[in-house]
Structure 1
């Protein structure tokens, strides 16, 4: 081998940059089937569902079991230590009793009247208390305060205020030389007097719901309407009212359910009287329990549950569908 010759293995190589010994190992790509199987395996882990168990046990013990027990006992004539199966006799007796039918009719009147008034007054107060009215914070507190007061306390207070002989309301009317009716003793006025007190007590919650809905409406919508020349009424009708539909749906559902299940205020103010003029289904059921007709009163509870469910579920679905259309 001559001085200028190179080894055979190196003869054809050109000078190369410095080579590093570090190598990166890329894992093989996983197919979609394998990735999906892994995710499915993670989703099927039962661990998260164990957190539902305490709530499910409480719900079953306090709602499901009593509900099915009520359905059974409504078909019996029962006392605290015995029961006799009588089929649908309790339901037949329920619809034959004029007192129970009167209470059912009064319940619908009371629920429609109170829920409708709370929607209208709550919306009006919500618009007022979100405007630049003087003393806005104080007025908000005044409107919401009745919601915080005990229902029984409100009933006893207004029972004294509406007393036909010594109540402050009638004393004021007599002083002004105006008629002083028997608000709670006149059969034609007693139910509406209690409904008025219910509206006074519950309109604060409806107002708060409407205030939250009005505040959530973007200000740009009103500004655009103002630029287009819309007055306050047109802005309310075209912008505020449609966008308040979720709040309106909430107020309608809550007020209607509360009206159908009303009991405490009526019992505190009139006990269903005079006669049966202000009885609602809940007060009639309570009287039946007091008289010892447990099976009949249980059937009344079942009927009230069915009525509330049959009315509220379609109503809520209709309101939700109306919201989507708007």
Structure 2
């Protein structure tokens, strides 16, 4: 006992404190990993694992029923020569090019109108946001009947003024714009809320100083509001673009890719290849091409953000 106590006394107090600190830090780290382990397990089981398996499928000739065979990058080579994929890529680009600017501009306009308090403002905000929480399938079905050629409400309303409405979803010149329109109305409320929050955080002192200098409302918006909400514009642009590139529900319900493949976007072509042509390998390759396109767009947007996004010091 005497020898043991002597050894304990020889240990420096700072070393004991350091060891106790390391043990406490190790226990805290272990507890942290323990609490986030369900999320990590779920990510690897339900996200990362299927992603790796899908990439493996894209390297194979993989029919839905039957044996698969490894073919390397042959599916990716065929995509470049696939006219249907090229047409679906163009349709996806046109859909995104039409939806993203229109959605962001309309959301910003609505936020500018609804940022100030007036009677019934809560009702207006709720009415604009309700479509966001509405099921896309239900929304698309309703609009499909509204845009029907003869019995649809839109054409019946136009007929009251002697205007013969077109076959909105059956004409190659109006099908894609119609889907873009109903998609904008469906999701504009979410971006409106984001812009509304951003605009309400702009210091009011800046507007008061601008008024003293005689600035017009347009100049106050372009010189004060717009620069200060660029981080929100950047965020909504990325989210809206990614959502537009992944459009599927309204296309499936309203047009099934028609007429004459004018609304066949990439995701619909992936579904058609997998569950109509039963070619799981080729559809997985198309899916990864879309994934790489979105990844490249996100990285590019993130790199160039400092050129136009305002950061508050």
Could you say whether these structures have the same fold, taking a TM-score greater than 0.5 normalized by the shorter chain as the test?
yes
Aligned residue in 1 for 2:170: 185
CA distance in structure 1 between the aligned counterparts of 2:305 and 2:22, rounded to whole angstroms = 37
Q: Distance in 2 between matches of 1:276 and 1:37?
A: 69
1:96 to 2:87 alignment: no
| Residues 276-317 of structure 1: per-residue CA shift (max 9 Å, x gap) | 110000001111112211111111111111111111222134
Matched, 1:213 2:213: no
Report 1:305-316 matches (<5 A): 305-316=291-302
Partner of 1:301: 287
SS in 1 for 2:75: helix
Distance 2:257 2:147 in 1: 16
Q: What TM-score do the two structures reach when normalised by structure 1?
A: 0.84
- Partners of 2:230 and 2:310 within 8 A in 1: no
Question: Is the CA contact 1:249–1:316 (under 8 Å) kept in the aligned structure 2?
Answer: no
What RMSD over aligned residues (CA atoms) do the two structures have, in Å?
2.2
C-alpha separation between the residues in 2 aligned to 1:72 and 1:179?
52
Within 5 Å, which residues of 2 pair with 1:1-326?
A: 42-45=24-27, 46-47=29-30, 48-78=32-62, 79-80=64-65, 82-289=67-274, 290-319=276-305, 322-324=308-310
After superposition, the C-alpha distances for 1:18-43 in whole angstroms (9 at most, x for unaligned) are xxxxxxxxxxxx88x99888766644
Deviations 1:213-238 (A, max 9, x none): 11111222212222232222221111
- Runs of 4+ with deviation above 4 angstroms: 33-42
CA distance in structure 1 between the partners assigned to 2:124 and 2:303 by the alignment: 35
Instruction: Report the TM-score, using the length of structure 2 for normalisation.
Output: 0.88
Gaps (5+ residues) in structure 2? 1-12
Matched position secondary structure for 2:162: coil
Distance 1:38 1:236, change over 3 A: farther
- 309-318 or 111-120, larger mean C-alpha shift: 309-318
Aligned mates of 1:37, 1:283 — CA distance in 2: 59
Count of aligned pairs = 297
Residues 34 and 117 of structure 1: is their aligned pair in 2 closer, same or farther, counting only changes over 3 Å? farther
Distance in 1 (alpha carbons) for counterparts of 2:227 and 2:300:
21
Distance in 2 of aligned mates of 1:320 and 1:294: 41
Preserved contact between residue 156 and residue 269 of structure 1 (Cα < 8 Å):
yes
Structure with greater helix share of residues: 2
Instruction: Report the counterpart of residue 5 of structure 2 in structure 1.
Output: none
- 2:267, 2:17 → 1: CA distance? 58
Larger radius of gyration: 1
Ranges in structure 1 where 5+ consecutive residues have no aligned partner: 1-29
Structure 2 partner of 1:27: none
Give 1:324 shift.
4.3
